[in-house]
Amino acid sequence: MRREEMIGRIRERQGAAEPWDIVVIGGGATGMGVAVDAAARGLSVALIEAHDFGKGTSSRSTKLVHGGVRYLEQGNIPLVMSALKERGLMRQNAPHLVHDLAFVVPNYSWWEAPFYGIGLKLYDLLAGRYGFGASKLLSKEETLERLPALEADELRGGVVYYDGQFDDARLLVHLAMTAADHGAVLANYCPATGLLRDAEGYVNGVTARDEETGEELTLMARVVVNATGVFTDSIRQMADANAEPLMITSQGIHLVFDRSFLKSDTALMVPKTSDGRVLFVIPWHGHAVAGTTDTPVDAPSLEPRPLEEEIEFVLETAARFFARPPTRADVLAVFVGLRPLVRAPGGGEAKTSAVSRDHVIHVDTSGLLTITGGKWTTYRHMAEDAVDHAITLGKLPDVDCPTKNLRIHGYMENSAELEALEVYGADAAQIRALAAAEPALAAQLHPALPYIAAEVVWAAREEMARTVEDALARHTRALFLNANAAIAMAEPVARLLAAELGRDDAWIAAQVGDFTALAQQYRVI
């Protein structure tokens, strides 16, 4: 993917008589899923993203590909079944990025084993042929064998079950590449600035601004899809200033620790924390990630900040389960995401954790099609639903959705043999070739993290990374794993990017300054 080429293709169409079949606003999981689906059906599609692809919620999830054990408790069986099926399809189509993972629910009371044991059997059952493995009751010894770091005092046993895990921002990059492979045009750093309407008042295009050059762009469209997550209402209000808000937002934080807190490849699942939520501690890229919280927030933001009480809550909950309780000093990074939740008709939910995680398709009287809510796990199904609606709305060719069996860019079985480059799948060979051709590119950028210089060059050349933040937050996950290490990597990364993108020393200095300031928010002091 080359940004200049993508913007060029948008510019070319501006004067052409043919509008795009679909223009998507928002380059998170939802919008990128729509771009993949539409392109794979042979429709012409352009997607514009205000920042880097995945800058919003889609890089800040708990990294689970799951049916959602918690939604079972809420009795939302259709959501769980559909998500379990999608979980299976995600692993089938992107085996380099999605894996199964064993989760242990430890039991400290006599009633927990039968209670969770039965619930998890139902979870297995609902997965049907998309199952990841049978759940099973564990003795105390077996529980400790799987999770040696667990507090052994008063432990009675546990239940093990299987779910999926992934790298969210990397999957997003690979979805972008899949969409591009099928002919989609994608532009990052290109916010939608307004909606255009035809003589009858129907939305028939979008105006956007190229943030790098200031150029104003016009994208005429048969259907405009609004996939802007927590920003959904701001786009709807471009079409109708009086549009009733659809969204409510809650934030969730995650704390990242050294892997020694888990000491194994098994995740810990706490089904009921003191505030009634689920808490996970999962192994991820050689670290342990603990989260999440569910705190209502008033206004959406691209860089939400953790609240002190959220940090304390995750630390306290984790401390109850680990023989060595983690402290603030052990936190290598904190990251925060905002859930795009759809208001129930009439609104007024007492708790955001009780709001449905189903997705919603909404068509405004202006014809603007909004898709929102849902989960990362269900992105494909959401996209299918959105494009089906767009086909009707825009009188587009009625082509069947092919994504159930569509391989995601980089598809590779047995990718574990790629070790630190596993997330690139088939592209890893080209990154290795870069490193082999130029030994400086084989250099590790920081001793605490496995990333090498060639990955940054690759991100700039092929994945449309534009800034130090893009390279360190999403194309590699350095910022999400270890904020101090990421800060130390900023200057060498800026130099590598400057060489690729033709930037000068002033750009390098500004990038290092901006990134260092941002990364402070990912540290817990």
Among all chains, which residue has been given the structure tokens 């402290």? 327
Site for ligand FAD in 364-383 (CB under 6 A): 372, 374-377
Give CA–CA dist 443/135, Å, rounded: 43
Site for ligand FAD in 5-44 (CB under 6 A): 25-31
Choosing from 13, 41, 51, 466, the residue that interacts with ligand FAD (CB under 6 A) is 51
Q: Which is nearer to ligand FAD, 19 or 164 (CB)?
A: 164
| Binding piece for ligand FAD, criterion CB under 6 A, among 112-120, 137-145, 336-344, 457-465 | 336-344
Q: Give the tokens for residue 315.
A: 């630390």
Size of the site for ligand FAD (CB under 6 A): 38
**Should residue 283 be labelled a site residue for ligand FAD when binding is judged by CB under 6 A?**
no
Site for ligand FAD in 98-137 (CB under 6 A): none
Return the closest-CA partner of residue 438 out of 500, 486, 505: 500
CB of 51 to ligand FAD, least distance (A): 5
Paired residues of 94 in beta bridges: none
In eight-state DSSP terms, residue 473 is: I
Q: Which is nearer to ligand FAD, 33 or 157 (CB)?
A: 33
CB of 304 to ligand FAD, least distance (A): 9
Burial 311-329 (b: 16+ CB within 10 A, else e): bebbbebbeebbeeebeee
Strand-pair category, 45-48 with 185-187: parallel
Task: Quickly count: other Cβ atoms within 10 Å of residue 500's Cβ.
Answer: 15
Q: Which is nearer to ligand FAD, 356 or 430 (CB)?
A: 356
CB of 346 to ligand FAD, least distance (A): 23
Site for ligand FAD in 242-271 (CB under 6 A): 252
DSSP readout, 189-236? S--EEEEEE-TTS-EEEEEEE-TTT--EEEEEEEEEEE--GGGHHHHH
**Should residue 64 be labelled a site residue for ligand FAD when binding is judged by CB under 6 A?**
yes
**Should residue 277 be labelled a site residue for ligand FAD when binding is judged by CB under 6 A?**
no
Choosing from 192, 203, 247, 493, the residue that interacts with ligand FAD (CB under 6 A) is 192
Strand-pair category, 369-373 with 359-363: antiparallel
Choosing from 56, 67, 88, 367, the residue that interacts with ligand FAD (CB under 6 A) is 56
Q: What is the dihedral of CA 500, 504, 505, 510, to 10 degrees?
A: -90
Choosing from 22, 23, 39, 50, the residue that interacts with ligand FAD (CB under 6 A) is 50
Reading phi first (left if > 0) and then psi (alpha if -120 to 50, else beta), residue 37 is in: alpha
Return the closest-CA partner of residue 188 out of 24, 14, 370: 24
Among all chains, which residue has been given the structure tokens 């990059």? 173
Q: Which is nearer to ligand FAD, 33 or 326 (CB)?
A: 33
Q: Which is nearer to ligand FAD, 41 or 277 (CB)?
A: 277
CB of 111 to ligand FAD, least distance (A): 27
Q: Which is nearer to ligand FAD, 10 or 192 (CB)?
A: 192
**Should residue 466 be labelled a site residue for ligand FAD when binding is judged by CB under 6 A?**
no
Task: Quickly count: other Cβ atoms within 10 Å of residue 437's Cβ.
Answer: 10
**Should residue 410 be labelled a site residue for ligand FAD when binding is judged by CB under 6 A?**
no
Q: Which is nearer to ligand FAD, 62 or 467 (CB)?
A: 62
**Should residue 91 be labelled a site residue for ligand FAD when binding is judged by CB under 6 A?**
no
Amino acid residing at 495:
R
Give CA–CA dist 50/28, Å, rounded: 10
DSSP readout, 476-498? S-HHHH-HHHHHHHHHHHHHHHH
Site for ligand FAD in 286-315 (CB under 6 A): 292
Q: Which is nearer to ligand FAD, 317 or 372 (CB)?
A: 372
Q: Give the tokens for residue 119.
A: 């619930």
- Cα angle value 174/178/182 (rounded, 5°): 165
In eight-state DSSP terms, residue 96 is: T
Q: Cα dist. 62→29, 54, 130, 291 in Å?
A: 14, 14, 21, 7
Choosing from 3, 7, 13, 49, the residue that interacts with ligand FAD (CB under 6 A) is 49
| Binding piece for ligand FAD, criterion CB under 6 A, among 89-97, 334-342, 472-480, 510-518 | 334-342
**Should residue 46 be labelled a site residue for ligand FAD when binding is judged by CB under 6 A?**
no
**Should residue 86 be labelled a site residue for ligand FAD when binding is judged by CB under 6 A?**
no
CB of 103 to ligand FAD, least distance (A): 12
Q: Which is nearer to ligand FAD, 204 or 353 (CB)?
A: 353
Q: Which is nearer to ligand FAD, 158 or 229 (CB)?
A: 229
Q: Which is nearer to ligand FAD, 372 or 403 (CB)?
A: 372
Give CA–CA dist 129/188, Å, rounded: 38
How remote is the C-alpha of 399 from its chain's centroid? 28
CB of 137 to ligand FAD, least distance (A): 25
Q: How many residues does the chain have?
A: 525
Q: Which is nearer to ligand FAD, 247 or 452 (CB)?
A: 247
Among all chains, which residue has been given the structure tokens 């999608």? 86
Binding site for ligand FAD (CB under 6 A): 25-31, 48-51, 55-58, 60-64, 191-192, 227-231, 252, 292, 337-340, 372, 374-377
